[in-house]
Amino acid sequence: MSDCIFCKIANKEIPTQAVYEDDMVIAFNDLEPQAPVHVLVIPKKHIASLLATTAEDKELLAHITCEVIPMLAKKLNIAETGFRIVANTGEEGGQTVQHLHFHLLGGRSMQWPPG
């Protein structure tokens, strides 16, 4: 997607300081953090939202949720105290960039209900 900001970041057209990167994902600090730790984890493959995932994305989603996010939580010292993962989907879900991404938030007490 030529106009997708996250695709441009993944393709190195827009520079960012990655806190983690591999061949499937890139993770970087959110420009408008909502918590002391606020990292975005995005797949390098363009997927518009969770609703656009398919069976072929199972490995990618498992990699993000079972490997990347737990590793980042440990690396960023929020694994022991707790953290929140958010994947906004659709307009009413608060999705502002039409590229699947996961917010990793921590470093403070998360309140409920959110939003």
CB 54 within 8 A of CB 72: no
Based on the residue annotation, tell me whether 38 is a catalytic residue of this protein. no
Task: Give backbone dihedrals phi and psi of 42, rounded to 5 degrees, phi first.
Answer: -125, 140
CB 60 within 8 A of CB 66: no
For the stretch 68-72, contacts whose Cβ atoms lie closer than 8 Å and that sit 24 or more positions apart, written own/partner, are 68/20, 68/22, 68/25, 68/27, 68/41, 69/41, 69/102, 69/104, 71/20, 72/19, 72/20, 72/27, 72/39, 72/41, 72/104
Q: Which member of 38, 99, 101, 103 is catalytic?
A: 101
Q: Which residues participate in catalysis according to the annotation?
A: 101
